[in-house]
Amino acid sequence: MAIKISIIGASGYTGVELMRLLSDHNEAELVCVTSRQYAGKKVTSVFPSLIGFYDLEFVEPNIELISNNSEVVFTCVPHQTAMDVVPTLLKKGLKVIDLSADFRISDKDVYEKWYQSHTSPDLLKDAVYGLVEIYRDKIKTARLVANPGCYPTSTILPLYPLLKEGLIDEHSIIVDSKSGTSGAGRSLSHAILFCEVNEAFKAYKIAEHRHTPEIEQELSKACGKNVLINFTPHLVPMSRGILTTIYANVKNNVSEDELRQALSNFYNNSYFVKILPKGQFPNVLNVRGTNFCHIGLKKDVRTNRVIIISAIDNLCKGASGQAIQNMNLMAGLDEKVGLMQPGLYP
Amino acid sequence: MAIKISIIGASGYTGVELMRLLSDHNEAELVCVTSRQYAGKKVTSVFPSLIGFYDLEFVEPNIELISNNSEVVFTCVPHQTAMDVVPTLLKKGLKVIDLSADFRISDKDVYEKWYQSHTSPDLLKDAVYGLVEIYRDKIKTARLVANPGCYPTSTILPLYPLLKEGLIDEHSIIVDSKSGTSGAGRSLSHAILFCEVNEAFKAYKIAEHRHTPEIEQELSKACGKNVLINFTPHLVPMSRGILTTIYANVKNNVSEDELRQALSNFYNNSYFVKILPKGQFPNVLNVRGTNFCHIGLKKDVRTNRVIIISAIDNLCKGASGQAIQNMNLMAGLDEKVGLMQPGLYP
Amino acid sequence: MAIKISIIGASGYTGVELMRLLSDHNEAELVCVTSRQYAGKKVTSVFPSLIGFYDLEFVEPNIELISNNSEVVFTCVPHQTAMDVVPTLLKKGLKVIDLSADFRISDKDVYEKWYQSHTSPDLLKDAVYGLVEIYRDKIKTARLVANPGCYPTSTILPLYPLLKEGLIDEHSIIVDSKSGTSGAGRSLSHAILFCEVNEAFKAYKIAEHRHTPEIEQELSKACGKNVLINFTPHLVPMSRGILTTIYANVKNNVSEDELRQALSNFYNNSYFVKILPKGQFPNVLNVRGTNFCHIGLKKDVRTNRVIIISAIDNLCKGASGQAIQNMNLMAGLDEKVGLMQPGLYP
Amino acid sequence: MAIKISIIGASGYTGVELMRLLSDHNEAELVCVTSRQYAGKKVTSVFPSLIGFYDLEFVEPNIELISNNSEVVFTCVPHQTAMDVVPTLLKKGLKVIDLSADFRISDKDVYEKWYQSHTSPDLLKDAVYGLVEIYRDKIKTARLVANPGCYPTSTILPLYPLLKEGLIDEHSIIVDSKSGTSGAGRSLSHAILFCEVNEAFKAYKIAEHRHTPEIEQELSKACGKNVLINFTPHLVPMSRGILTTIYANVKNNVSEDELRQALSNFYNNSYFVKILPKGQFPNVLNVRGTNFCHIGLKKDVRTNRVIIISAIDNLCKGASGQAIQNMNLMAGLDEKVGLMQPGLYP
């Protein structure tokens, strides 16, 4: 029987993406979608891309109602809001996949330094960081999964195995990320108006983006040392996709092939991570609409640095696709269910 | 058992789109894809969006080989090439869905006036025009389906019922279409370079586009009279999608509701055609990657004209999606198999 | 000595465009720019594209101050706001170029039917419609110029001479316009977010856009008859540019060459209107950043209709460029001063 | 009297950009533009953005003719072709500004390692590297200027002063550049088709781009040491603009303000280089169509690295604008003549 699912905060881009993906998921049934802004409106009148798939209406968020109808809840609300609603959902016995940042940072002090004070710090130890390819087993039994950020997903996947194997210098890591505009959400601001993004390109939140500590937490775990990185996000005039270019000093004269092999070995059983062959590099267009992460790399022997490049769809593997991958595992399903579409090219 | 399928000319955008859609089709197996340009290369090295789905290599076109392995062939070659290869495929007993224009115009003289001389005119009477919503029954038993053009699909679907019911003046029809750039194909030309299309907008082939007689043929059938239209295609700086804006004089003071009702009635049993409610109008973004056609309309009482607007994905409902819809019918399957994805928004 | 200029409402796209163009105008000096939103901020900190050209700060609108410092004022405020501020400016003896719609419609009843009630109807008879190529002489002595709308500019220029000469049927006119997103302004709304416009294409305000009566007013003057048109605007995923495709029945079997000649004759002394030779058609990319209007046409002998296509930059010839062209005339200058840049291609 | 100018290879994007800029240059007269592809055609029929400004036709390249008519020649031909034509032009007494790479690398061996064999190595010592802000005096008396590459311009300008002052570690430099598609030229290739670039983002020529040695040559001169860098170019779905993000370790605990001050001091008399105030960062949209380079920076005290970001228009300051700036100096003019337009925003 299908898993009964609710989405709290369903009218942002990650909410709509969950609905898009769930429409093709045979084992899941969407029973409730909340949106203060659109309560009372049909989902398909607000998002006509879903015409033919849903007859639901948006409703006001109502934890009682959701608890009675659902087994799994996706919380797509902003950080700070999530920490208020999640504890109640857990108390009602629901499984929660939280797409906000509120349960990603296990160290309360670090969280509070980069965000604001945390009202449910006791839950931090229970939350499992939902990067499936690294924490698959823990996720299977989790009741609260902190779905990773989009930039962290694109950064941790390529770096984790290399740091774990001690192949790169943990002090040398520079992460230069480029994201499509859907990563900035659907809330109104001048910075994401079409005429401000089109034919434009800029960096933002330089040396102060909140995904930095999330990345550092996982990289530190990988190598057992305290890793500090430079992380610079950029805004690309496209709707979807993150390309992350990473620079690191290679240790012990390890070769390009050995670096690539380390990645291939680590992701051997992970369908959604694809290590590209020598000379081939990722393009976000190739993963558009998919749950894949493509990774390519090249060693510059002149400088002894490796350049690693990853591509994901920020809304899919970087958010809602990964959330469903987590849900599948939590429900005892194959992690690939509902996520088997190739990229929409062109 | 799965239908064995080959694609001739698989390295254009319609070929790749067929592969994308077939990857999610439970009843079909792709056995052979041809490409002179890429013969010997893995499909996934040329089109990495398909990584994880195919292990095929492109091969040189070889009718003998294809005939032995396949039951259905999609021909994605240019017009004039198609008429050379299709007869042989049919003789070998294969079913053919031709995505070129060669078998769409049933009148040889009309074809030759707009294209060039026809080398297989005898086949024209056997070919079924593959607009499922209009010719569903004929398609089920066809051995050669002429898959409709993208502009014609977006134009005939909204106009056919209105002309059939005598609700609009057949002498007054003006069709102003706007297409994404993938409609121009993947062959090299200055006109489709990024810097020539981006931040650009133009009309082209004004009053001389070859889809004109194809549209007129079907509209004439709808009303039993000889219909001449004005058709103006435009190039939009986007990859996919056609929005067609149609103007026609309303007959007998028919109301907007009656016009909409006529469309709703006609497409009542056609899942992929969606008539939008009063006040709602199509946007190509909502049908991106899908086989849907969204149709909206408004009557201007000041001028007694109806403005009808349709949106399709030119590569999907306008080409490869419709081709698979045809294949499904020819194979006795539900026409929706493999085509049940919502639009990729945003 | 340079003309002293103020801009009221300078922080929208038309305001910034005025500043861009005025920076290269030898006979004009910008003395005051108002913006409630940015008052107290340097123009270049809000709009860094102007770095190197201005040292001004935005100020709160203050009519007294503006009146003392300026000779000419551009009002770039929304309709309804304009009609409140313009009378005072005129009383103070300033010349005003109003970029809103408030003084474009000379018939108060028509204005009030499409907009709202008019608080300064007595000024309507004094306002000159600022389409230079048609009203050049009147503009030279005007104290209030109603700067034309962007869509009307792109529509009236190609149609006026043909209607004046009686070459086309005034009952048959259909205007299908496509605009870049800057035409929607810089005020926040979901409809102009990058992810809603990119890879999207739609019509809007079908049969009810407020530029309709403005177009009809001028076309009616051209032929001395009451002209009703169909006008459908569309939103294009690009920042600047309007392409307008017009359909009309040709009268008396006039030839394509005669139609083109009529336009060439009419605009013989108008530098900014370029009639393209036979077989060449406009593209908005070719007029980007310029004050030009390119016009091409083709007669379809099959249907006896002419298809006329015009391209302008909506912010320049469609707004701020035309406003400066008006200012030049009002100040006794050559209309081309400050407007002599070619298009930014690519 | 105006300088008589010819452009060899005028039908690429840099050639058209030269024509765009020269149309507004009071001291220059364009007398000859060559193009094998378009010889015999009017410039304005091939590039309608120039309608109203030129009556020239493209001609076949003819050194004799050019030498008789011109004083200054811009060579906009590919590398390897330039080294064949430039010597003859110099022998005829013309001044040459070469936009190819052939005379940028002063060390013949380095050139031949990254390009191919050099047929005019004797001219290398005469060629002046045309980065005005660094070599202004040499350029004034040069007869051959090697106009810098687009990526090098965006990289050397921000780094030169910091290396010269010894403020950053020359072994730690990582350059992550992002370019609009016009940087790839106008020659046909699949990689720059609209549908391949739109909604796409990728790195290319990783650790092997030919601009690397050009950048390293100038950075080495700045600090008097042999500098090796990592340089990764990326392709952005936009037409114009380069944003370069640079990472370097800060030496001696120098502060962010001191770094910024070093740049401000160095470029104090260089109008086209703008150092942005603390907290403000460049966006390519703000320099579109201009000869400006905007530079912003931030020090990450956690990692002791500075992140420096520059923005230029690749076709203007990165190619044709800089070429005209060079021409101005060579002709004894103010370097700003013809280059005083603000950015085209939006």
Nearest Cα neighbor of A228 from A304, A178, A169 is A169
pLDDT above 80 for B1? no
Q: Does C279 touch chain B (CB under 8 A)?
A: no
Sign of CA dihedral A127, A129, A135, A140: positive
pLDDT digits (tens, 9 = 90+) for D212-246: 999 999 999 999 999 999 999 999 999 999 999 99
| C314: closest chain D residue by CA | D346
Q: Position B150: which residue type?
A: C
Place of tokens 């320099």: D287
pLDDT band for position C255 (cuts 50, 70, 90): very high
What's residue D298's pLDDT? 98
Q: How confident is the model at residue B101 (pLDDT cuts 50, 70, 90)?
A: very high
Tokens of C13: 């796209």
Residue of A16, A17, A188, A195 to mutate when probing chain C, most C C-beta within 10 A: A195
pTM to 2 decimals?
Answer: 0.98
User: Residue D285: closest CA among chain C residues belongs to which residue?
Assistant: C49
What ipTM is given for this predicted complex? 0.97
Residues in D 283-312 with any Cβ partner in C closer than 8 A: 283, 285-290, 292, 294
From residue C69, alpha-carbon distances to B283, C57, C66 in Å are: 48, 15, 5
Q: Hey, are the CB atoms on D49 and C199 less than 8 Å from each other? A: no
- Taking contacts as CB-CB distances below 8 angstroms, the residues of chain B near A199 are 199
CA-wise closest residue to C82 among C71, C90, C72, C92: C90
Contact A235, A204 (CB under 8 A): yes
> What dihedral angle (degrees, nearest 10) is formed by the CA atoms of A134, A138, A139, A142?
-150
pLDDT (tens digit, 9 = 90+) per residue, A64-108? 999 999 999 999 999 999 999 999 999 999 999 999 999 999 999
Residue C98 lies in a domain: yes
Distance from CA of D315 to the nearest CA of A (A): 14
- Sort out which chain B residues have CB atoms less than 8 A from D197's CB and list them: 194
> Do residues B115 and B162 both lie within one domain?
no
CA distance C277 to C257: 10
C110 CB-near residues (< 8 Å, 6+ apart): C213, C217
Whether residue A46 lies within 8 A of chain C, CB to CB, comes out as no
User: Which residues are within 8 A (CB) of D221 and not within 5 positions of it... i.e. 6 or more apart?
Assistant: none
Interface contact D207, partner B, CB < 8 A? no
Q: Residue C234: which domain range?
A: 151-314
Chain B CB contacts of C181 below 8 Å: none
Site of tokens 């995923």: C237
Answer whether residue D1 shows pLDDT above 90: no
Residues A183 and A242 in one domain: yes
CB contact under 8 A, D238 and A200: yes
Walk across the sheet containing A305-312 and list its strands. A202-203, A230-235, A174-179, A242-249, A305-312, A293-300, A273-275
Establish if B273 belongs to a structural domain.
yes
Residues A21 and A155 reside in one and the same domain: no
C140-150 confidence digits (pLDDT tens):
999 999 999 99
Neighbours of A221 (CB within 10 A): 17
Q: Given a cut of 90, is residue A1 above it in pLDDT?
A: no
Please answer yes or no on whether D340 and C24 come within 8 Å at the CB atom: yes
B244: in domain: yes
How many beta carbons lie within 10 A of that of residue A67, not counting itself?
17
* C204 in contact with chain B, both atoms CB, cutoff 8 A: yes
User: Could you give the residue numbers annotated as active site of B?
Assistant: 150
Task: Please list every residue in chain D whose beta carbon sits closer than 8 Å to the beta carbon of residue A303.
Answer: 228-230
Residue A104: how many CB atoms within 10 A of its CB? 25
Whether B87 and B174 map to the same domain: the answer is: no
Average pLDDT value for residue range B237-255: 98
Q: How far is CA A122 from CA A97, A106, A114, A119, C49, in A?
A: 17, 10, 18, 9, 49
Q: Are residues D77 and D175 both part of a single domain?
A: no
In chain A, residues with a C-beta closer than 8 Å to the C-beta of D240 are 199
Across A3-147, the runs of DSSP E, i.e. the strands, are: 3-8, 28-34, 58-59, 72-75, 95-98, 128-129, 144-146
User: D49, C274: Cβ pair inside 8 Å?
Assistant: no
Residue B291 has pLDDT above 80, yes or no: yes
CATH of the domain at C232: 3.30.360.10
**pLDDT band for position C235 (cuts 50, 70, 90):** very high
What is the 3-class SS of B139-198, one letter each residue?
HHCCCEEECCCHHHHHHHHHHHHHHHCCCECCCCCEEEEEECHHHHCCCCCHHHEHHHHC
Same domain, residue pair A209 and A99: no
Quick one: C19 and C77 in the same domain?
A: yes
| Residue range A148-166: mean pLDDT, rounded | 98
Q: For C194, which residue in chain A has the nearest alpha carbon? A: A194
pLDDT digits (tens, 9 = 90+) for A171-202: 999 999 999 999 999 999 999 999 999 999 99
The Cα–Cα gap between D289 and D240 comes to: 8
**First and final C-alpha spacing in chain C:** 37
**Same domain (yes/no): B164, B265:** yes
Catalytically active residues of D are 150
Name the pLDDT band for D291 (thresholds 50, 70, 90): very high
Q: Chain C residue with minimal CA distance to D17? A: C345
> Which pLDDT tens digit goes with each residue over C36-73?
999 999 999 999 999 999 999 999 999 999 999 999 99
* B86 and B27, same domain (yes or no): yes
Return the HEC string of B309-341: EEEECCCHHHHHHHHHHHHHHHCCCCCCCCCCC
For residue D51, give both structure tokens: 């309608």
Query: Does the residue B88 lie in any domain?
Result: yes
What average pLDDT score do residues A16-20 get?
98
Does the beta-carbon distance from B292 to A342 stay under 8 Å? Answer: no
Nearest to D235 by CA among B320, A85, B195: B195
C180: nearest CA in chain A? A195
Within a domain: D207: yes
| Dihedral sign for Cα atoms in the order B104, B107, B111, B117 | positive
| Chains in touch with A (≥3 Cβ pairs < 8 A) | B, C, D
Closest Cβ opposite residue D176 in set A176, A239, A284: A176
d(CA D186, CA B193): 8
- Give C303's contacts in chain B (Cβ within 8 Å): 228-230
B198 vs D contacts (CB less than 8 Å): 181, 194, 198, 237-239
State yes or no: cis peptide before B61, omega within 30 of 0.
no
Q: What's A61's DSSP letter? A: -
Residue where the block lists tokens 């006509």: A48
Using an 8 Å CB-CB cutoff, list chain A residues near C199: 239
In tens, the pLDDT along B46-87 reads 999 999 999 999 999 999 999 999 999 999 999 999 999 999
**Could you tell me if C220 lies within 8 Å of chain B, comparing CB atoms?**
no
Closest by Cα among D321, B236, D334, D31 to C344: D321
Is pLDDT of D74 > 80? Answer: yes
- D135 to each of B245, D244, D264, D311, how far by Cα in Å? 57, 22, 17, 20
Residue count of chain C: 346
Query: B181–D195: do the CB atoms touch at under 8 Å?
Result: yes
Q: Does A206 touch chain D (CB under 8 A)?
A: yes
- Judged by a CB distance cut-off of 8 A, whether residue A278 touches chain D is no
For residue D53, is pLDDT > 90? Answer: yes
Q: Quick check: is A307 in a domain? A: yes
Between B and C, how many CB-CB pairs are < 8 A?
A: 145
- Window 13-32 of C: residues touching A by CB (8 A cutoff) are 13
List all residues 6 or more positions away from A210 whose beta carbon is below 8 Å from its beta carbon: A101, A114, A115
- Quote the number of domains for chain A: 2
**Mean per-residue pLDDT of chain C:** 97
Q: Report the largest interatomic distance among the alpha carbons of chain A, rounded to a whole angstrom.
A: 62
Is A276 found in the same domain as A262? yes
Q: Touching check for A187 and chain C: CB below 8 Å?
A: no
**Predicted local confidence at residue C13, as pLDDT:** 98
The answer to whether position D337 is within a domain reads no
Contact assignment for A247 to D201 by CB distance below 8 Å: no
User: Per DSSP, what are the bridge partners of residue D246?
Assistant: D175, D308
Report strand pairing: D293-300 vs D273-275: parallel
Q: Does D201 touch chain A (CB under 8 A)?
A: yes
Residue D334 confidence class, pLDDT cut points 50, 70, 90: very high
Residue among C24, C45, C49 minimizing CB distance to D345: C49
Rounded to whole angstroms, the Cα distance separating A53 from B272 reads: 11
The shortest C-alpha distance from A95 to chain B (Å) reads 27
**CB-neighbour burial class of residue D62 (10 A; exposed 0-12, middle 13-18, buried 19+):** middle
Are D138 and D215 found together in one domain? Answer: no
- Binary contact (B195, D13; C-beta < 8 A): yes
Does residue D100 sit at the B interface (CB-CB below 8 Å)?
Answer: no
Whether residue B200 is contained in a domain is answered as yes
Q: Which residues in chain A are closer than 8 Å to C191, comparing Cβ atoms?
A: none
| Mean of per-residue pLDDT scores for chain A | 97
Query: For A312, which DSSP code?
Result: E
D89 pLDDT band, cuts 50/70/90, is very high
Contact criterion met (CB < 8 Å) for D238 and A346: no
Contact flag C23-D341 (C-beta cutoff 8 Å): yes
Chosen for mutation from B22, B24, B55, B345 (greatest number of chain A CBs closer than 10 Å) is: B345
Interface A-C: count of C-beta contacts within 8 A: 54
Provide the CATH number for the domain around residue B117: 3.40.50.720
Give the minimum alpha-carbon distance from A73 to chain D in angstroms, rounded to a whole number: 31
- Using DSSP's 3-state secondary structure scheme, residue C191 falls into helix
Decide: B134 and B218 in contact? Cβ < 8 Å. yes
Looking at residue C1, its pLDDT comes to 76
Q: C315-343 pLDDT, tens per residue?
A: 999 999 999 999 999 999 999 999 999 99
- Whether residues A157 and A140 fall in one domain: no
